[in-house]
Structure 1
């Protein structure tokens, strides 16, 4: 209950404080990428229940006949700046207010991954997903999938308000340094293929 109260208060304060920045980002996305300004995608949350994640759009839409299929093809210079600075994540604070997410927790991944996790990896859904998490401050997208999911489960087993505060502080440092934004050889993060149980 305390964690949820902190999430609500902090998310509300951050939404108000970052409102001018979000307006500027929205205008830039609208001018450079057109509509829609926001990217919405279904993700699994607590206990694997689906919710709609909201972020600023960073990629061009795949148009028929243009051959823009991969993330690398669709990524824009503005998108790279927004991702490296995590400004694209600001609308996700609305998900925190709604209760879909927490400020800190395992990052929500794709629904199609649900059937690819081992029983141990699937434990990442025992807590609300987070805007940031232990895996993100341990290397963001540069961390391998195995290590990333192990860190998610470690957070589930050890999370405290103190650990959350440490992760939030480390997140600020990571964002300012802009390291680990993408996995090597990928525009974002390669697909999680899973492994044998």
Structure 2
């Protein structure tokens, strides 16, 4: 397990992400053009996220919301800025595809805990911080267990469980389950919300 975690997991990430980028290049191009036409520029959403050992990196996604503003020039709510096209990108997880470049760079892994917001770093307890002992993933144990439909407590338990038990067989199983979940569009939103509610800490 340690050999896989230390050497072979990264090699598998490079091979799979490079193959996926090449194979999906027509999709990436078409989606880029559609995003620019329907939602505007920039095509990519960039945000700083904590990665392995809480090192900060820039994560890439396709943008899914318009820049609609009120009369005072303030951005409208996520719900008001997310149209049917953006919802489709999220429901199919196509908006996540640019993260393949993060994987190729070494910021992320195919499988691992999802990279969350920097503002959450001060809210984790010692157990929850273990999620950062591995590279964040395009998908992970929490995602195939419910994605945004499970509570933060359940999500963190799954993240730590993965970080403590990384193995080749587990990664293969989670890749397969991810494909099935995406195909079924399960667990995208929580209680009908546009996005997962923010983590407020451990009470």
TM range (shorter): over 0.9
Contact 2:45–2:62 under 8 Å retained in 1: yes
Shift, 1:63, TM fit = 3.0
Q: Is the counterpart of residue 14 in structure 1 residue 37 in structure 2?
A: no
What are the Cα deviations for residues 25-53 of structure 1, in whole angstroms up to 9, with x where unaligned? 11110000110000000000001110000
Q: Which residue of 1 aligns with 2:159?
A: 152
Match of 1:101 among 99, 105, 108: 108
Match of 1:48 among 28, 31, 54: 54
Shift, 1:62, TM fit = 4.9
Match of 1:39 among 28, 45, 53: 45
Shift, 1:185, TM fit = 4.0
Cα RMSD (Å): 1.2
TM-score by length of 1: 0.96
What are the Cα deviations for residues 173-195 of structure 1, in whole angstroms up to 9, with x where unaligned? 00000011001141010000011
TM-score by length of 2: 0.93
Shift, 1:64, TM fit = 5.4
Number of residue pairs aligned between Structure 1 and Structure 2: 196
Gap regions ≥5 residues in structure 1: none
Q: Which residue of 1 aligns with 2:199?
A: 192
Partner Cα separation in structure 2 for residue 131 and residue 166 of structure 1: 14
Partner Cα separation in structure 1 for residue 200 and residue 95 of structure 2: 26
Match of 2:83 among 76, 80, 83: 76
